[in-house]
Amino acid sequence: MNEPQLRELVPAVIGVLVRRGADFAAAEDAVQEALIRALEAEEQPRDLKAWLISVAWRKFLDAARAEKARRDRELAVEAEPPGGPVPAADDTLRLYFLCAHPTLPPSSAVALTLRAVGGLTTRQIAAAYLVPEATMAQRISRAKKRIAEARLDEPGDLATVLRVLYLVFNEGYGGDVDLAAEAIRLARQLAALSAEPEAAGLLALMLLHHARRASRTGPGGRLVPLAEQDRSRWDTELITEGVTILQTALARDRLGEYQAQAAIAALHADARTASETDWVQIVEWYDELLLLTGSPIVRLNRAVAVGEADGPRAGLAELAEIDPALPRYTAVAAYLRERAGDLDHAADLYAEAARAATNLAERDHLTREAARVRHHERKSPPP
């Protein structure tokens, strides 16, 4: 069986079962069991979707018979033959909204989305997040219980759905599932189902970032800063696709934060070398993004862009208006101090930022930056 093709059908099959009377949790469990059957089958049926619906429906009825409280509903829905015509309606978008329910914490919403919409198994999700399978199973189970009373036809919040997919994308790569690629696959589905320009903006942002994936790390997993990346390794097809999607979204004149972020990423992708980057335009897009979000992280990134466009002293002046407790503040201060020629202070700040880093690759990078700046400082003549 073709596993990616099976995963594409999961939301539609869950939607059919829910319309036939199954609650979401029971429908999702039944579809997961049907997926296992499909993966074990030697031959693929002619109509894979109808086959999945039939098997999942029988699994649901088997479970329903085991519970006396569900007997009435079972009798009511058995009137519709499992092998009947497959409805043409697509519940995928509504399923996105249900999995990204506002009552769920982000970690649970992400896990439930990957399982119910993405079609991944609990084991695959656990491996991707580097947690025990039992832990992930409990997280998914609690999420399904929390939304048990929610209906598939209730209106959803697109912003929550987009945020969940963005979280999936930013998780990186691990286990036997590439979460970034999976997030792009789901974002493509969502952009095709929704007319909202922000859905297209998020897809464009993912594609533009993903295009640089191969150049982001060097030997031994060392981080490679954007300015030092080998741009010949960037995926030009993904960049072209991302820019095209972004231009279409921007033409609708309903700017959102993902479109603004994608515009910044597009300007980086458009520069043949780091020195050709249009930092003035990037600052302008950060101004738009700041108006949309008011985010201190955006303000921090804008300070870097100002430092590139107007000089490090201007960047440091912007940085002085930002809370020093913000994550990455010290690393940004180190970079701008180095650009301004204050090497001694910059080296100390790089070392401080390394001590506060939350992952090994970032800590290693900042430690090497501190050593590099100290080496240059020793070689520089006294003032």
d(C-alpha 289, C-alpha 163), whole Å: 16
Tell which residue, 317, 323, 325, 347, has the closest CA to residue 335. 347
pLDDT of residue 87: 44
C-beta separation of 11 from 117 below 8 A: yes
- pLDDT tens for the chain, 383 residues: list them: 567 778 788 888 888 888 887 888 888 888 888 888 888 777 778 888 888 888 888 888 888 776 654 455 444 544 444 444 444 445 677 788 888 887 888 888 888 888 888 788 888 888 777 789 999 999 998 888 888 766 655 556 788 889 888 888 887 655 556 778 888 988 998 899 888 999 999 999 999 999 999 999 898 889 999 999 999 999 999 999 999 999 999 999 999 999 999 999 999 999 999 999 999 999 999 999 999 999 999 999 999 999 999 999 999 999 999 999 998 999 999 999 999 999 999 999 999 999 999 888 899 999 999 999 998 877 665 55
pLDDT of residue 89: 46
pLDDT of residue 307: 97
pLDDT of residue 81: 46
107: tokens are 């970690």
Nearest 5°: the CA angle 374, 380, 383 is 115
d(C-alpha 260, C-alpha 289), whole Å: 6
d(C-alpha 78, C-alpha 84), whole Å: 12
d(C-alpha 304, C-alpha 315), whole Å: 6
d(C-alpha 287, C-alpha 214), whole Å: 30
For 12, the 3-state DSSP assignment is: helix
pLDDT of residue 16: 86
Tell which residue, 291, 285, 298, 342, has the closest CA to residue 316. 342
C-beta separation of 191 from 200 below 8 A: yes
d(C-alpha 221, C-alpha 218), whole Å: 5
185: tokens are 């696959």
Nearest 5°: the CA angle 127, 205, 100 is 55
**Residues 6 or more apart in contact with residue 73 via CB below 8 angstroms:** 21, 64
354: tokens are 């390394």
**What torsion, rounded to 10 degrees, do the Cα atoms 257, 97, 4, 217 define?**
30
pLDDT of residue 266: 97
